[in-house]
Amino acid sequence: MIIVMKHDATQAQIDHVVAKVKRLGYKAHLSAGEERTIVGVIGDDRPIDPGNFEPIQGVEKVLSILKPFKLASREMHPMDTLVNVDGLTIGGNELVIMAGPCSVEDRDQLLEIAHAVKETGATILRGGAFKPRTSPYSFQGLGERGLKLLAEARLETGLKVVTEAMSPEQVPLVAEYADIIQLGARNMQNYELLRAAGRAGLPVLLKRGLMATIEEWLMSAEYLMSVGNERVILCERGIRSFETYTRNTTDINAIPVVRELSHLPVILDPSHSTGKWEYVSAVARAGVAAGADGLIVEVHPRPEEALSDGAQSLRPERFADMVRQVREVARAVGRDLIEVEWNSKTPA
C-alpha cells in the first residue's frame, strides 16, 4: 500500500502517518518527490484497511500496490533512483561504463587494462577476484590478492571498483576493497547472500539470473532493499534460451520493461549476453538505444591468453571504438556518457 500525501502536507502530518504505520506493525518507506511525499507501507501480506489512513489530514489518497516487489516498484518511488558511488552517479542523464577483465590475473595485466579503459571512457573498473565457474577445474580467481590488486588499480587511476562476492562470508572482505559489490547471475536467488550484501553499506550490482523472469529479478532486488540498502543497480546480462549460437540471448526488452516497472537504474552486460566479442559493440549500442543507464564490458589486452572468457573480451582498441559508437547513440537519444578527465602522467 502507498499513502499519497497532499502537495501542501506538513511535516507533522507526514510524521503522524508514519507513526500510525509503525503502530500497526508495518515499516514506513518515505519517497519525497518535488511535489508530493509518498509513504510506502511495507510488511507481511495482512490486508490493510485504507480507512485507517484516508481520514488523516494531509492524506490525498491511499492506493494498493499490486506488484509483489514493493520497494523496487515505481509505484512506491515514482522518481528515478540515482545511485551515488563515492561521488559518481549511476542513473540520470549520463551513462556509466564499467570495463575491465573477466578475471584479475596479475598486476601488470590489471594495470594495463585499467589505464586503457579509463583513457577511452570507463569510470568503473570491473574485475573478478572470486570466479564462479561451470567447471571446478577452471581458474577460480586470485581471491584476496586479486582484491588488493583492484584496490591498487583504483589508487593509481581513480577508477571505482566493482567486483563479485560469491557467499555471505566473502561479503565483508569484498566490501573492504570494492566500491560496488557485484552479485552474479548464479547467485541472484541466494537469499542469504542478498541479505549480507544488502547490509554491507555499499551499492550492489545485481545481475539477472540465467533463467530468471523480470519479476524474480526485481524480487531479488527487493531482498537487498528490505534490509535497508536503496543503492541497487540492476544488470541485464542475457538469459538462457533455445539459441546456442551466442552464449546467451540478450533480452533488450527487459531494459524498457524494467525502467517502467522500477525506479532502479539498469545497465547492460553485452559481453555475457553474446559470449562473442564480434557482437559486443552492436548489442551495447542497442542497449543504450533501449534506455540502459550504462554498460559493463569485458576488456583484455590479449584475449587469446585470458584465463577466463577471452572469447567475449574486447581488445582495448576495440573497446575504444565501442565507446565512440555508444556515445553517438546516447546523444541521439538525448543522453551522453560521463566525461572522464585523464592525465597519463599523474595518477588520479
| Same domain (yes/no): 89, 52 | no
Per-residue model confidence (pLDDT) at position 143:
92
Which residues, 6 or more positions from 96, have their beta carbon under 8 angstroms from its beta carbon?
A: 88, 89, 90, 123, 124, 267, 293, 294, 295, 337, 338
Q: What is the pLDDT of residues 304-334, one digit of tens each?
A: 999 989 999 999 999 999 999 999 999 999 9
Per-residue model confidence (pLDDT) at position 137:
61
State whether residue 92 is helix, strand or coil: coil
| Same domain (yes/no): 269, 183 | yes
**pLDDT at residue 179 is higher than 80:** yes
Q: What is the pLDDT of residues 261-299, one digit of tens each?
A: 999 999 999 999 999 999 999 999 999 999 999 999 999
pLDDT band at 348 (very low <50, low <70, confident <90, very high): very low
For the residues of 325-346, what is the DSSP string, one character each?
A: HHHHHHHHTT-EEPP----SSS
| Same domain (yes/no): 242, 110 | yes
| Same domain (yes/no): 17, 128 | no
Whichever domain contains 7, its CATH number is 3.30.70.1140
Per-residue model confidence (pLDDT) at position 346:
35
Percent of the chain with pLDDT over 70: 95
Per-residue model confidence (pLDDT) at position 52:
86
Whichever domain contains 230, its CATH number is 3.20.20.70
**pLDDT at residue 44 is higher than 80:** no
Q: Which cell numbers in the block locate residue 26?
A: 508495518
| Same domain (yes/no): 234, 288 | yes
pLDDT band at 134 (very low <50, low <70, confident <90, very high): low
Phi, psi of 302 (to 5 degrees): -140, 80
**Does residue 212 or residue 131 have the better pLDDT?**
212
Buried b (16+ CB within 10 A) or exposed e, 99-135: bbbbbbbeeebbebbbbbbbebbbbbbbbbbbbeeee
Number of domain units in the chain: 2
Query: Is 74 a domain residue?
Result: no
Query: Is 346 a domain residue?
Result: no
Residue at 174: amino acid letter: V
Which residues, 6 or more positions from 339, have their beta carbon under 8 angstroms from its beta carbon?
A: none
The neighbouring-strand residues paired with 235 are: 207, 267
| Same domain (yes/no): 164, 265 | yes
| Same domain (yes/no): 30, 157 | no
- Tally of CB atoms within 10 A around 317: 11
| Same domain (yes/no): 57, 149 | no
Q: Where are the alpha helices (DSSP H) in 72-125?
A: 107-119
Domain extent, residue 43, equals 2-63
Q: What is the pLDDT of residues 192-241, one digit of tens each?
A: 999 999 999 999 999 999 999 999 999 999 999 999 999 999 999 999 99
**pLDDT at residue 165 is higher than 90:** yes
| Same domain (yes/no): 59, 87 | no
Of 63, 95, 116, the position where a domain reaches its end is 63
Question: What's the whole-number average pLDDT of the chain?
Answer: 92
Give the integer Cα–Cα distance in Å for 114 and 122. 9
| Same domain (yes/no): 131, 37 | no
Per-residue pLDDT, averaged over 138-158, amounts to 91
